[in-house]
Amino acid sequence: MLDYALLAALAAVIRTGSFERAAQQLHVTPSAVSQRVKLLEERLGTILVVRGAPCTGTAAGRRLCQHVEQVSLLESELRADLPGTRDGVPPVTVRIAANADSLATWLVAAMAEAGDCLFDLVLDDQDHSADWLRRGEVLAAVTGSARAVQGCDIVPLGSLRYVATASPAFVDRWFPAGVDAAALARAPRLTFNSKDRLQSLWTHRAVGRDIPAPTHWLPSSQAFVDAAVAGLGWGMNPEMLVAPHLRDGRLVALNADLPLDVPLYWQRSRMASSTLAAVSRAVVGRARATLRQDRAEP
């Protein structure tokens, strides 16, 4: 029989990344948290936490963390439905993965419509967010993959449209004769991180191949827009974020006839949870009211 006091300590360490923050969350001492995790490891005969800065869970530790969070979610819903136990039920936390551009454009509104739960949001590229589901580290994810993760349901959300944008002065300097392979090889581009392939995909569509180019690394959706407006480089920005700048002339499209639509999908665990179902309804509803629907189907 699993000891849920020990499991709670394990989950707090893995999610916060340290024994000290876990202790603050559980209102006990770091020594008490350490003892509980050590006792659980001794009982199960395996290492559950890789001590470091931050602390991370082993495969077994992450699986147990997922289990305790699912139990906590279902227990909270049960207590809310039982007479005499509704008062004082703390809000439950739902951990999801999503890409930064969804967070910057439409996802926050969906989270606000989801009810009284709390969110623990993991940011990752849409082509990699499904990996968090496969590892059992989140209950749901906004992904770019049309293939359902085992044990999950998948719903198409629509497409987030991107536009290759830069300031007028940047275009005059780097693309005086138009957008061609030679100009793209010289012009500084903006790249979110090593997983960001949007600039490469657009370049391939524009000139038939990807072209190595000097790049600025900017892991922030808003910084992408600000950098383009400032003339630092060109980059793929969500149309929803840059529409005012395009209207006012602070930004221009490198090729207005060549947008890039990225289909997004909602994948969620099949666990029977009314809270997770409410989150899913809010996410799907907000996405379908906001994103383009002409390329929504897998």
Domain end point (choices 42, 63, 84): 63
Q: What is the mean pLDDT of residues 198-219?
A: 96
Q: What's the rounded Cα separation, in Å, for the pair 129 and 234?
A: 25
Question: How are the residues of the chain apportioned to helix, strand and coil, as percentages rounded to the nearest 5?
Answer: 45, 20, 35
Q: Cα angle at 235 between 155 and 251, to 5 degrees?
A: 110
User: Chain-wide mean pLDDT for the chain?
Assistant: 91
How wide is the angle at C-alpha 16 spanned by C-alphas 222 and 43, nearest 5°? 150
- Does residue 96 belong to any structural domain of this protein? no
Instruction: Assign residue 217 the CATH number of its domain.
Output: 3.40.190.10
pLDDT, position 86:
54
* CA–CA gap between residue 161 and residue 275 (Å, rounded): 30
Coil, helix or strand at residue 151: coil
* pLDDT score of 296 more than 60: no
The answer to the question of residue 59 being in a domain is yes
Higher pLDDT, 74 or 292: 292
Does the pLDDT value for residue 156 go beyond 70? yes
Is 171 domain-assigned?
yes
Q: Which residue has the tokens 């827009």?
A: 225
Give yes or no for a contact between 136 and 151, defined as CB atoms under 8 angstroms apart: no
Number of domains in the chain: 2
Q: Is the pLDDT of residue 250 over 60?
A: yes
- Residue 6: domain span: 1-63
83, with CB counted inside 10 A (0-12, 13-18, 19+), is exposed
Instruction: Establish if 179 belongs to a structural domain.
Output: yes
* Nearest residue to 168 via CA among 221, 245, 222: 245
What CATH number corresponds to the domain at position 30?
A: 1.10.10.10
CA separation for the pair 275, 214 (Å, rounded): 46
Tokens of 122: 């993991």
Q: What is the pLDDT of residues 113-144, one digit of tens each?
A: 998 888 999 999 999 999 998 888 889 999 99
Residue 186: inside a domain: yes
Nearest to 207 by CA among 168, 165, 243, 255: 255
